Amino acid sequence: MNCREAQDVIPLQAAGAAVPEESAHLEAHLQNCPHCRELMGDFTEIAAHLAIAVNPTPVPGVLREALERRIDQSITPASLKIPPQNSRMGFILAMAASIALLIAMGMSLYIQHLQKTEIHGLHQLLAFSEDQNRKVIAHEATVVTDWENRVQRLESRVQQANEVINMLKVPHLQIASLEGAGKQPSAFGRLFWDKHAKIWKFCAADLKQLHSDKTYELWWITPASKKIPAGTFNVDDTGFVMFTPTIPAGMKLSHALTAAVTIEPAGGDLQPQGPVELIGKL
């Protein structure tokens, strides 16, 4: 017996209406076929529910007699091994009941199938919408982080701009220019120098960003060509920097000095080794 044949017999078997030979073949098939076994289970369950739910309906006497007469006319006793008349009527009614039961079971299974399909569809829809929500939230988080970073950068620029403005308000401010040299001709630097208050600031712009193993280093160069380190720095993503250079004790900023910026290994060096990027006389 194959699955197709088994599925024809399963409803009959559940209704207790399968003939013994079919029933035996079906049982043999069910041993090896989980799919048909599941179907058999469904039908058996529904048949059990129907047996509980449906009240037996007595057949009215007139109908019973009419049916008996009809059966007598249409079925030749010789062609069938028909039991005595009362049993025959019982058999016909059992068949009718079985057919009604099969129709009810079929409808019930079909409704169950529709519900299962619908629930599966809803689950898929829900999973899809949850996935979309997760993507949207992740994207929003990225956007927020991006904006936070931008705000932080802008705040730092505003602070630097305020420092420059405050320096420019100082009376007798001296400004020295450093010009781009070597590979960065468009870069430039400014040294703001308040002789009286002894405040100095260095800023540079249009310098390229360096790898983490390199740093810019500012130097004071004396008329005797002595190079004195004045601090290391790196520029932001626009190539800008502003910082307070170091002035060694005893050293005085004067117009006899030259300032220069070189590229050195990260952490800086005691003497310049790398190429000169900015240079200018004070």
**Which residue of 12, 14, 26, 36 would you call a contact of Zn ion, by CB under 5 A?**
36
Question: In 3D, which of 212, 255, 206 has the Cα closest to residue 232?
Answer: 212
Q: Is 9 in the site for Zn ion (CB under 5 A)?
A: no
For the record, the structure tokens of 234 come out as 């790196």
Q: Is 3 in the site for Zn ion (CB under 5 A)?
A: yes
Q: From 26-34, 149-157, 204-212, 272-280, give the range in contact with Zn ion by CB under 5 A.
A: 26-34
Phi/psi zone of residue 196: left (φ > 0), alpha (ψ -120 to 50 degrees), beta? Answer: alpha
Q: Which of 7, 246 has the CB closer to Zn ion?
A: 7
Q: Which of 31, 86 has the CB closer to Zn ion?
A: 31
Q: Is 33 in the site for Zn ion (CB under 5 A)?
A: yes
Binding residues for Zn ion, how many (CB under 5 A)?
4
Q: From 35-43, 127-135, 149-157, 181-189, give the range in contact with Zn ion by CB under 5 A.
A: 35-43
Are 189 and 278 in contact by the 8 Å Cβ rule? The answer is: yes
CB atoms within 10 A of CB 200: 19
Q: Which of 3, 256 has the CB closer to Zn ion?
A: 3
What's the rounded Cα separation, in Å, for the pair 92 and 107? Answer: 23
> Given CA atoms 32, 33, 38, 44 in this order, what sign does their dihedral have?
negative
Q: Which of 30, 46 has the CB closer to Zn ion?
A: 30
Question: In 3D, which of 209, 238, 239, 233 has the Cα closest to residue 219?
Answer: 233
What's the rounded Cα separation, in Å, for the pair 269 and 265? Answer: 7
Q: Is 82 in the site for Zn ion (CB under 5 A)?
A: no
Q: From 2-10, 79-87, 106-114, 139-147, give the range in contact with Zn ion by CB under 5 A.
A: 2-10
Q: From 36-44, 212-220, 226-234, 235-243, give the range in contact with Zn ion by CB under 5 A.
A: 36-44
Q: Which of 9, 279 has the CB closer to Zn ion?
A: 9
> Given CA atoms 157, 163, 169, 172 in this order, what sign does their dihedral have?
negative
Site residues (vs Zn ion, CB under 5 A): 3, 6, 33, 36
